[in-house]
Amino acid sequence: MTPEHASNVAISGLQFIAGDETQLSRFAALTGIEPPKIRAMADSLVFLTAILDFFMGDEATLLAFAASYGLDPADIAKARNALDPIDFNDGD
């Protein structure tokens, strides 16, 4: 997955979160980012990664988002990795 496509997945995730007051409140509580500041941060790679991490941290939310946007849930993990690759073998 390209970083551009991954960013689009994250932006869709932001739309999903913003469209549900409960999810928006949960996202704000977990990240410490207040809703009024979200728009200003929307182009930050770190912020986009945090959006995808939000979904990766809760299976029910992940599945709801994936279903709402016609995504394979595995694509969210791929998008997250495309934005901020994690090398799990780095410590070997």
Per-residue pLDDT of the chain (92 residues; tens, 9 = 90+): 899 999 999 999 999 999 999 999 999 898 888 878 887 888 888 899 999 999 999 999 999 999 999 999 999 999 999 998 765 445 44
Do you know the residue count of the chain? 92
pLDDT at residue 86, rounded to an integer = 67
Measured distance CA(83)–CA(34) in Å, rounded: 23
pLDDT value, residue 87: 52
C-alpha distances (whole Å) from 72 to each of 22, 24, 52, 79, 89 are 23, 22, 14, 11, 26
- Which regions of the chain does DSSP assign to beta strands (E)? none
Q: Provide the pLDDT for residue 32.
A: 86
Residue with tokens 């912020």: 47
